[in-house]
Structure 1
Amino acid sequence: MSDSATWDQTRHELLLELATLPLKGDVLHWQRRLADAIIEAEGPTVGTDKAEAKWHRHLLRVIADGLVHELLPEHTIRSLSRHPGPPASLSSQGVDFDFVFEQAHKLYGLGFIPIIADITTLIGVGDIVGWSGGGVVVLECKNRPAPLRESTTGRLARQRQRGEQVETYLTTSIVDEGDSVRQAHTMSLPSPDWAAVTDLLERCDGSSSGTAAYSLGPSDILVAATSRATPEQVGVLMREFGSLRAQRLPSILN
């Protein structure tokens, strides 16, 4: 079986198991399997397309994002995503990454459901985020003896500060970030117009060009396009709506 076929099967199996989590199955075992799949794709066999391996690793992390969305509220996810960066290599971490899982098992024993940050695209703070009904904790895991004095400068201090700030904010809804104060406010957001999206996709599917559009306002449209649609056909549709001035055009691709 080719790497591509094996990777498709691996992602398929992980998705099926994700659908049962966290009520059924072992959340940590599932994350370990996913992490091992990322590590394997970081050192693909000779002759494997590097771009395809990179895409597979990305899709695995997107699958892990599904667990994040299953467990955490959207506002919490946005708060944990405020420090984006390139995905961390798992294989280069060696025993330190195994140490993270050891701490995750301990956190699980305390009643938290742990999420390993480096296997996701969404969590940019800490090594582990632990979720429980009472909120979240953010852990930095260092596989070495604790220093006699707590560092106040450098990378370790910045990591600790980010974790403490996000915990404070998610607990109290307000945090002093030095140059500004961030505070959460409760507000009602409009519900998505799912009927309009359904109509858009049905028209797109039935269109000979494989495109369709829905007007959200004078300079705001939602565009759907299938894989058979050409960029020229999408451009024609946008010109018909007279919205070429608007550069923020969300699209749905199927």
Structure 2
Amino acid sequence: MIRLTGRGAAAVTTAVLAVSGLGAAGQTSARAQTNPRAATLSADLTCNIGDLGQTAAVLDGWLTPPGNSYDAPARFWLHISNLNLQAPFPIDSWNGTAWVDVSGTENTTFQVSGSGGAVPEQGALTGDLAGDWAPAVAGTHFLRVGGIEVTVNSAQAGTVVVQCVPNGRPRAEVLQVAAPYRGSWARPPVRGFRPGPWYRPGMILHRPVWDRPGWQRPGWHRPGWHSPPVYHRPVGPGGGWHRPGFPIHHGG
């Protein structure tokens, strides 16, 4: 779940982080990440690693709304201070999108996107996702992170798509809109977040099996990550499976 630890928990301290690919014409944008309006959050996630399996993860960070009055679409920021996918190899770069669901006086969804650089083996993703939205109705809006999709690129593992679903329906922010935006804007269509067929509520996690190019050798194993067992073809006229260290039983 997402636990709100108090509004303005970060107080007045300012931490400015560069965000790649969020400015006009691909320029780098920067944002004061500590905002007295933002509440810190921690969300328990279930993440699916491509077709390799699932793992539990935690998203730490905060969601920053631009204010409660809107005369134009404004930029919302989701800061990720920690998202550990427990990858047993270094990540060269990543890009991601999060779906922010809005309920309360208005029901809609908008997206925030961004990218990041290198992450060491077993390291955590950090960075910022941003996107434009404008409330059209005054009142209380409840914002939550409905899903996250990250594409990681690694020289050792190639390109892997990761989908993360929050456990339950956690709330990230309560936005009190005093003056909504009444104008029109060319808002791109936003599809709702749809996890793949791997996901069902209350599912049992299937720990990922990582096959790294050049590392597919019998007996390869890393703590917490499992390689599949190696079976030999049937032996003898009556068949029977043979595994190293086990006696061979012939049919008949």
Q: TM-score, normalised by structure 2?
A: 0.22
Q: TM-score, normalised by structure 1?
A: 0.22
Task: Identify the structure with the greater strand proportion.
Answer: 2
